[in-house]
Amino acid sequence: MFYNNAGISGPGLKFVDNTIEQINQVVGINLLGALYGIKYVTEVMLKNGGGSIVNTSSTAGVVGQATVGTYSATKHGIVGITKTIAAEYASQGIRSNAIAPGTIETPMVKEYREKSPENVKAVIEAIPQKRLGEPEEVAELVVFLLSDKANYINGTVVSIDGTFTSI
């Protein structure tokens, strides 16, 4: 089992306002870091007869969102590699799925809420369920997808976002 959950959000600027260094940092951590992890764990899983991978994408990996262009590109990349690994290695017992969380009540979001309460209020208003997700809700989904109970789920992206990407 492998839960691939590395990532940073980036500077929160319109795409052309990002520096090359900012773009490289987000791509390096979010996409290259994830790809390296997937490569090496897949090699081990092939030797061991299979396994399950869950990658963290984002709502920004399934729909475009302003001010997170590089982040969005990396999270779309996570979706692509998730589906590719599933297609290439399903017959060898490897399952690869991704989750696409919306805004989750993490320490980073709590800190942002203190700095920009109006922005977080607007985010919550855009979520049909009118609340942020809880880390435990995401953890339960990951545990399920990694488990044998999800044996026939492969190559999919599961949104966990309070209906945000469904509207």
Residue written as token pair 């490289």: 24
Distance CA 96, CA 157 (A): 9
Residue length of the chain: 167
Distances in Å between the Cα of 57 and the Cα atoms of 41, 53, 71, 100, 165 are: 18, 13, 10, 5, 13
Distance CA 47, CA 111 (A): 43
Burial letters 29-41, b for 16+ CB under 10 A, else e: ebbebbbebbeeb
Task: Tell me if 123 sits within 8 A of 109, measured CB to CB.
Answer: no
Choosing from 3, 36, 40, 71, the catalytic residue is 71
**Residues near 7 by Cβ (< 8 Å), separated by ≥ 6?**
29, 30, 34, 56, 58, 71, 74, 75
Catalytic-residue membership of 40: no
- Positions annotated as catalytic residues are 71
